[in-house]
């Protein structure tokens, strides 16, 4: 960010989220992506249950940690 650019003022996450959830297109996109969110939550749950770091999981599945 250059010196002339300013960051947006702080905004509580709940305020941001509540605003987005009033947008029908955003809500529709979230619903459409729910299977991907569920898969990501399950991967996280299993990784934590096995005590693996992100790096260890990435190595086991043959990729790099994002």
Q: What is the full DSSP assignment across the chain?
A: --TT--PPPP--HHHHHHHHTT-HHHHHHHHHHHHHHHHHHHHHHHHHHHT--HHHHHHHTTS---
Domain that holds residue 55: 13-60
Residue with tokens 């992506």: 33
In a domain, 7, yes or no: no
pLDDT tens digits along 11-29: 899 999 999 999 999 999 9
Answer yes or no: is pLDDT of 54 > 90.
yes
| The total number of structural domains that make up the chain | 1
pLDDT at res. 5: 76
User: How much is the average pLDDT of 30-56?
Assistant: 97
Does residue 4 belong to any structural domain of this protein?
Answer: no
Is the pLDDT assigned to residue 56 strictly greater than 60?
yes
Q: Is 37 among the domain residues? A: yes
Q: Judge whether 38 lies within some domain.
A: yes
Cβ-count burial 32-48 (b if 16+ within 10 Å, e if not): eeeeeeeeeeeeeeeee
Report yes or no on 3 lying in a domain. Answer: no
Question: Is 8 part of any domain?
Answer: no
């Amino acid at each position: 960010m250059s010196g002339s650019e300013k960051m947006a003022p702080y905004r509580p996450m709940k305020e941001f989220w509540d605003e987005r959830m009033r947008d029908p297109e955003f809500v529709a996109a979230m619903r459409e992506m729910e299977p991907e969110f569920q898969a990501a939550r399950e991967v996280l749950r299993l990784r934590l249950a096995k005590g693996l770091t992100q790096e260890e999981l990435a190595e086991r599945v043959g990729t790099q940690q994002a």
